[in-house]
Amino acid sequence: MRCPALPLLLALGLMTPVAMAQKAPFTVAPDLFDADRPGDLGLQMAPGTQTFTIHAPTTGSDTFHNGVVLIAFQGVLHAQWQVSQRDEDTLDTWIAHSRSEDGGRTWTPPVALSPSATKPGEMRSNGGWWTDGRRLVAFTNVWPTGFQSGDGGYAEYRISEDGRTWSSPRRVMGKDGKPVEGIIEQDPHALPGGRIVTAFHQRPGMIVAPFYTDDPLGVTGWVRGRFENLPHDGLVSRELEPSLFLRGSCATMVFRDQDESFRTLASESCDGGENWTRPALTDMPDARAKQSAGNLPDGTAFLATAVSHDKMRIPLALTLSSDGSRFDRSFLLRGAGDLQPLRFAGRYKRPGFHYPKSLVWNNHLYVAYSTNKEDVQVTRVPLAALMAARR
pLDDT, tens digit (0-9, with 9 covering 90-100), for 298-311: 999 999 999 998 99
Q: Considering the entire predicted model, what is its pTM?
A: 0.94
Q: Please give the average per-residue pLDDT across 365-381, as a whole number.
A: 98
Distance from C-alpha of 248 to C-alpha of 250, rounded to nearest angstrom: 5
Q: Please give the average per-residue pLDDT across 224-242, as a whole number.
A: 97
Contact call for residues 143 and 156 (beta carbons, < 8 A): no
Which pLDDT belongs to residue 115?
76
42: left (phi over 0), alpha (psi -120 to 50) or beta: left
CA-based nearest residue to 135, from 211, 18, 216: 216
pLDDT digits (tens, 9 = 90+) for 339-364: 999 999 999 999 999 999 999 999 99
Which pLDDT belongs to residue 21?
62
- Which segment of 14-28, 78-92, 141-155 scores lowest on mean pLDDT? 14-28
Q: Which tops the pLDDT comparison, 22 or 50?
A: 50
Which pLDDT belongs to residue 13?
41
Q: Please give the average per-residue pLDDT across 22-39, as a whole number.
A: 95
Q: Which tops the pLDDT comparison, 16 or 143?
A: 143
Distance from C-alpha of 301 to C-alpha of 341, rounded to nearest angstrom: 32
Q: Which tops the pLDDT comparison, 10 or 285?
A: 285
* Helix residue ranges per DSSP H, the chain: 6-11, 383-388
Is it the case that residue 14 has pLDDT exceeding 80? Answer: no
- The one-letter code for the residue type at 9 is L
Contact call for residues 56 and 345 (beta carbons, < 8 A): no
pLDDT digits (tens, 9 = 90+) for 150-199: 999 999 999 999 999 999 999 999 999 999 999 999 999 999 999 999 99
Distance from C-alpha of 378 to C-alpha of 7, rounded to nearest angstrom: 50
Which pLDDT belongs to residue 156?
97
Q: What is the mean pLDDT of the chain?
A: 93
- The one-letter code for the residue type at 239 is E
Band of residue 2 on the pLDDT scale cut at 50, 70, 90: very low
CA 353 from centroid of its chain's CA atoms: 14
Which pLDDT belongs to residue 388?
83
CA 332 from centroid of its chain's CA atoms: 19
pLDDT digits (tens, 9 = 90+) for 77-129: 999 999 999 999 999 999 999 999 999 999 999 999 987 787 999 999 999 99
Helices (H) and strands (E) in the chain, counts: 2, 27
Spell out the residues 6+ positions from residue 190 whose beta carbon is closer than 8 angstroms to its own: 196, 197
Contact call for residues 158 and 130 (beta carbons, < 8 A): no
Which DSSP state fits 345?
Answer: -
- Distances in Å between the Cα of 287 and the Cα atoms of 36, 315, 332, 354 are 17, 10, 15, 10
